[in-house]
Chains A and B, each alone.
Chain A
């Protein structure tokens, strides 16, 4: 039972355009949502997060939107750059003092020059 789902395995966009990566979840008790970026042969790196009490968080070119009623979040990258080409994972935090994260399957983003 996949509690966090990224239904698009891949996405290709042109440099300078907007990239939108989507993520759906089933557990309404998740309290934090995070996005990670992963390059080949490296570990994932933290990108941006959002609390379940907010609906938007922005950090430079990256914005995460949370729609709690739809149990959906999205990551917007504007403008997209070739260096953004990577696998993006969304993750959700289980409310507890353990810090456990549940990850989605990942979406491979390719930004074409």
Chain B
């Protein structure tokens, strides 16, 4: 049982480059989320998808776009990376839309130089 799989695990980008972070879950969860973790800031919600076909902005959406490709997959795209986007990115999914026990992926450590 893989749970939530994120790729890649590490990435270094130059300022202005673009990339897509991939996330897939095999638990048939409806809701999926993208968070970033920064020192002293905790986990902040970037975008979420309450169900297949819907996406909404979280606390810190600027500079990002998302695609809920199907029920399993939720990708995060950086169109023009900036050093301020250096962070650890976590994808998560949940069984119900009630905030119970997210299952998180292992994270993508992104450095923008």
> Chain A residues with Cβ under 8 A from B105's Cβ?
43
| A103 interfacial by beta-carbon distance below 8 Å | yes
The residue on A at minimum CB distance from B93 is A99
A49 to B97 Cα, complex, angstroms: 15
A96 to B59 Cα, complex, angstroms: 16
| B20 interfacial by beta-carbon distance below 8 Å | no
The answer on a CB contact under 8 Å between B99 and A45 is no
> Chain B residues with Cβ under 8 A from A13's Cβ?
none
A101: contacting residue among B45, B50, B103, CB under 8 A: B45
> Chain B residues with Cβ under 8 A from A101's Cβ?
33, 45, 99, 102
A99: contacting residue among B44, B96, B104, CB under 8 A: B96
**B: which residues have CB within 8 A of A?**
4, 31, 33, 35, 40-45, 48, 50, 56, 58-59, 90, 92, 94, 96-107
**A: which residues have CB within 8 A of B?**
4, 6, 9, 31-32, 34, 36, 41-46, 49, 89, 91-94, 96-106
